[in-house]
Structures are given as structure tokens and as C-alpha cells.
Structure 1
């Protein structure tokens, strides 16, 4: 069985971890796996630096050494069609149904007798939906033989669009490298107090990790944190860390200055993903307050480090990863008072951080690259036998 995977950008390090696991396990399934990476990265990640050079082991080709936005649709179609014809796969995995080039490749694959699997992270609430767009999407996905979904909301959305439940080959394939992240985190923990003092940080901290962008709802997070501190008697032992960069950085810093919260809310320099656990080790609770988030892999990262999480219900990961009141809290971003209440539970000590962290570790153990790779290979086998 020959498996060809089309993936948008080489930058996505956790996908590389899964691809490496697929490569490692493929021989057990009498399969071989090859990945077509369309481009090096995307322009929205330019501030995050160059893609990491990591020792991932899998077979791939980089089609265009540039940002994906700079690759025209005709160029993508020509390159993808040429590589598919040369490789002659039994099954094709596409990582989206929104790209005209991948839709064209899917049509050609179906005409050539090649089975098609689509991987999707879309949910009903991550974007504004229109009737015409949803109709077209349902026509596109009707051509696929099977689907890999980030999680339960994604699987349910596909079923709403007409996909049969038995076509959901993998229902939860959003993973990070749990073991590597936990190792870095544990190595950093012994120096936590010293590092906090060095950076003038409080002994306990909430942390957000990601782009500083409008859809991340960070202005509401800062307001909620300031209000929670005030309700708790303005306790000085809690801070808020914002790790990342992005177009809203200037506005966020202005808000911090306007509120007089410079001592408790700090923007930290962006870090490569493999160093993020070193900063997580300075904090106690991850907060992801997004207005729109197909999944939210940073929640996986924090849980792999044994941390409680506070997550907006607009994040695709919330139903699968957050057990409300057990390893953290889910809140409605349209009701900012809910976020304030969640933060206050930690500040006033009503939430048991240690117990919640243990539950996070237990939940995330089921979301591992090895498990997902095995389920994906079993899915490829299933579609090729139908």
C-alpha cells in the first residue's frame, strides 16, 4: 500500500512528528508513506522565525521553498499532479478541502481509482458559515472515502455535512509530542523560582501562548485578569504572561499601560515550540480565550506538562480535552464575567491546581503521536479494502 500525503507547510512541527511515526510503523502495515510539503511556511508565521530544523525521520519533498501564499493555484496543481502521477499511490491524504489545487488533485485521484482521505480541523463555529459555501463543501467532501478529524466537534460537523459515521476513520488526531514537551518542562522546573526572580515575575502565573491577534481575545483576558485580582483583594502573588508576537502587540501593551498593570501582566519574547515548556514552567495555569480556534494545540502542550487549563468554548479542543471543574474550566467568550470567575477560582485558592494538573496528564496521555499514527494506518488499510 502506497500512501501519499499532501500537506501545506513544512513549518508544522507536530505534523512532522506524526509523519515520522507513520514512517516508523508503515512496514508493519505493509505500507510506505511519502509526504508532499507544498511550501516552507506561511506569512502569518513570519514573526515566529524560520522553521525548526529537527531530526524528524520521514520521506518528503518540499515543492516550493517560499510562503504558501506566494504559490499560485496553477503552479500548485502542476506540481501536485506531476508528483502524484510519478508516485502512483493507492491512497491520497489531503489536509483540507478549501484549496482549489487539492480539490483538483482529488478529482484526478478519483478518476484514477485512487482512494481519498481528507483530514479536517473545521468546526461549525470557527468561521461564519453561508448556505452556498456549506453546499459546495458538502459536494467536495462527498468525493472522499474517509476522514481524519482533529476531534469530536470536527467529526460532528462532517456528519452535519452528510458524511456517514463509518467514514470517520480517526475521530481524534490532534496531537503534540507529549514526552518531549514533558521532558523539557521537568528539566526547567527546578530553576523556576530563580527564573521568576530574574524576570521579576510573581510566584504564580496564568499564561497565554500564541499569536497576539484580535481573534485570540487577549484584551478580554487582560481585563478579566485585572478584575479577578481586584475581587481577590488585588493579590500580588498572581501574574499574567503573554508569550508570543503578532499584529496586536502594540495595542495590548497600550492596554496594559492604561490599566497600570505593568507589574502583573507581561509580554514575553516569542520562543520556538521546543522551548515553550521552559516558559510554561514559570506559570501555573494556561488560558486560551480565543473567539475562533479550530483546535488549540497549545492546550495539548500545557496538559502534556501537567497544567490546568482555562479554555474558551469556541476552541475545538474544549469538548475532548477539558473536563469542566476537573482539569480546568470552559467559558463562553461572549460572557467575559465567566472568564473572570474562572481566573478568580485559582487566585483565591478554590481550584486545586495540583489535582487538576494530574487529570490533565491523564487525559492527554490518550492523545499521543504513536496512537494517532496507528489509527491513521488502520484507516488507510480500511479504505483501500473497500
Structure 2
């Protein structure tokens, strides 16, 4: 079995850990071969998050980087030509495409159907992450009907495909993962210096943390308001702070809002950093908060849970029904009901929930969402389609 995977950017470390795990499984099958075509090195919006240190984790799996530049700089014609030429040369039995939004990959889909190659389409979209309807949905239905199987980012992503007419048996994967082991190892190492780091940065002894871009869809203004409201009510407000880790166009407005609400001394902004350094900040934090208005999945929830942190997650995040067990490893809230978020923040600040127990439950629940488990499901799916 010859497996060809088309992927957008080499930077996507969470996929690299899965591809490496998949290659290890392929190594046990002398009749199988894997190749990953990475279209570009990175996207412009993620340029500052690239690994640039010697201690960054590396992954080994067979791949070819088609264009050593940003994805936005790769034209449709050259992308289409490169993908088609490499696919013809590799002669796959099964082809995994990144998504249905790239015309170059749709051309590859048509080539595969004409030559008898089985096609798996990856889907991370959900019905809730954008307004749906019109001719685009009809075109999407037509494209998806040409595919033989699907790898989905969780149950909400799978449900969306079923709503578009896909038979449930064609959905071969319903998980998403990060490198749990690398993240946990880095977290435990950084945790040894927690108090010293907190003192050095001038932050509180207990902290909520947000990790991501500072953009409107992340709903950070609501988070700042909820935190300020919780401070006004909490018995131990002086012990708790809020860390916003990331960069983006909303930063100035958020700084001003924190000052207006009187939270400046408790809210700390830290610049974005490569993924393998995020555990350094999780180690000085206690609870992850992801308040997004729209989020296809939310990999930062995987990252936090792999480090043993409880989570507070908006129900608009695709990962919420799969990863968060309300009251067991964290809490899910409705972003249209901001008082819910305030109440959950208060439950930690007042100690009415056992944060340590929630964190241990988070660590246990994330174990099946590891690269090895996702890779096994992928391989099982490929085998199902080609035998």
C-alpha cells in the first residue's frame, strides 16, 4: 500500500508528530510506503512561532518540501503542477488531502478519481464555526461526494459532514492530537522553577492562562470582563492573575480595557512563542481558559490537558464535547452567557473545586488523544479503503 499525504505547511508540528507515529507503524509493514508532500514552509501569520533553537523537537518521516517559502507566496499554477507531478511519480494507492478549499488539491482529487486512487479528505470545519448555506455548501457536497473516506477533527466535525450527506461509515477518524509526551516533559521540567519564574515576571501565585492570537474571535474582551467581575467577588482575589500569551491586533485595546477595569496589576501579557516553549508558561499557570466565539477544534486545550491543567472552554470550540467533561476535568460555558464564565473563574478562585483533581482527570482523559492513537486510526482507515 502506497500512501501519499498532501499537507499545507511544514510548520504544523502537531501533524508532524502524527506523521512520525504513522511512519513507525508503516515500518512494521514491508508492503507499505508513506510520503508526505509539504506544500510550503509556513504561513505569514505564524512566522514568529517557527522553531529556531537547537533544543526544538525534531520529527523524522519521509516528506518533500515543495516550496521553501510562505504558503501565500505559492501560486495556484505552480502548486497544481508540483502536486500533480509528484503524485504521478509516486503512484499512490490512497491519497489524503488537507481540505476542499484548495483548487490545486481539488485538481488532484479529480486526477485520483480518474486513475482509481482512493481519496481521503481531512475536515476540521464544523457547522458552527461559520455561517453556512448557499451555493458554497452545494459545491462542498459535490466535492465531498467524490471522496472515499474522511479524517475529522472530532465529533462536531464528523456531525457536520453527516449533515452534508456523508455516510457515517465513511468517517474513519474523529480525533486530533498534539505531542503529549514532548509537552508533558517540558512542562515538568519548567514546573521545578515555577515560583522563581513567577517572581521574575511579577505575576501572581495562581493564574488563569489564555494561549493564542489576540484577535476578536477569541472573545478576550469577555474574558477580561469576567475576570474583573470575579476579582470583585472572590475571597482570595489577590492570589489570582490572568496571563494572555500571544500577539495580535487586539492587544492595545485589551491593555486599555484591563486598565479601565482596574485589573492591570493582575493581567499580564506575554509575547507569542514556539509551541515547545508554551509549557514554560503553562507551568506558572493553573487553569487554561479558551473563550472563543468560533474555533474548529482548539489544540491549546490538548496542550494544557497533556500538561495536567484543568480547562474552561467555550461550547463554540470543536474540542469541547470530545475533551471536556464538565465538572470532571474542567468546565464548558456558553459565550452568550458571560456570567457562566465568571462563575467558573470564581469556583477556582474561591477553592470550591479541587483544581488538582480536575488536572489529574484532564491528564488521564487526554491520553487516548495521542499521536500514536491518531496514527493507528489513520492506518486502519487507509487499510479499510485499499483492501
Q: Shorter-chain TM-score: which interval?
A: over 0.9
Q: Which residue of 2 aligns with 1:280?
A: 282
Q: Deviations over 1:33-67 (max 9, x none)?
A: 10111111112213434677642101111111121
- Checking the alignment, whether the CA contact within 8 Å between 1:209 and 1:243 is kept in structure 2 is yes
Q: Deviations over 1:134-184 (max 9, x none)?
A: 111111010110011111111111111111111111122x10111111111
Q: 135-144 or 29-38: which moved more?
A: 29-38
- Checking the alignment, whether the CA contact within 8 Å between 2:209 and 2:286 is kept in structure 1 is yes
- Checking the alignment, whether the CA contact within 8 Å between 1:7 and 1:36 is kept in structure 2 is yes
Q: Which residue of 2 aligns with 1:338?
A: 340
- Checking the alignment, whether the CA contact within 8 Å between 2:11 and 2:50 is kept in structure 1 is no
- Checking the alignment, whether the CA contact within 8 Å between 1:47 and 1:245 is kept in structure 2 is no
Residue 58 (structure 2) pairs with residue 55 (structure 1): yes
- Checking the alignment, whether the CA contact within 8 Å between 2:38 and 2:65 is kept in structure 1 is yes
Partners of 2:339 and 2:44 in 1: CA distance:
35
Question: Residue 38 of structure 1 aligns to a residue in which SS?
Answer: strand
Structure 1 runs not aligned, ≥5 long: none
Question: Residue 236 of structure 1 aligns to a residue in which SS?
Answer: helix
Counterparts of 1:25-36 in structure 2, within 5 Å, are 25-29=25-29, 30-36=31-37
- Checking the alignment, whether the CA contact within 8 Å between 1:48 and 1:245 is kept in structure 2 is no
Q: Which residue of 2 aligns with 1:9?
A: 9
Deviation, 1:100, is 1.1
Partners of 1:187 and 1:51 in 2: CA distance:
20
Q: What RMSD, in angstroms, separates the aligned Cα atoms of the two structures? A: 1.3
TM-score normalised according to structure 2 size: 0.97
Q: Which residue of 2 aligns with 1:157?
A: 160
Deviation, 1:259, is 2.1
Residue 207 (structure 2) pairs with residue 222 (structure 1): no
- Checking the alignment, whether the CA contact within 8 Å between 1:11 and 1:51 is kept in structure 2 is no
Partners of 1:344 and 1:121 in 2: CA distance:
33
Counterparts of 1:206-221 in structure 2, within 5 Å, are 206-221=208-223
- Checking the alignment, whether the CA contact within 8 Å between 2:6 and 2:98 is kept in structure 1 is yes
- Checking the alignment, whether the CA contact within 8 Å between 1:41 and 1:51 is kept in structure 2 is no
Counterparts of 1:243-254 in structure 2, within 5 Å, are 243-254=245-256
Counterparts of 1:223-262 in structure 2, within 5 Å, are 223-233=225-235, 235-262=237-264
Q: Which residue of 1 aligns with 2:119?
A: 116
How many matched pairs?
A: 384
Among 160, 166, 169, the alignment partner of 2:169 is 166
Partners of 2:20 and 2:118 in 1: CA distance:
22
Partners of 2:50 and 2:260 in 1: CA distance:
30
- Checking the alignment, whether the CA contact within 8 Å between 2:51 and 2:274 is kept in structure 1 is no
Deviation, 1:77, is 0.8
- Checking the alignment, whether the CA contact within 8 Å between 1:304 and 1:364 is kept in structure 2 is yes
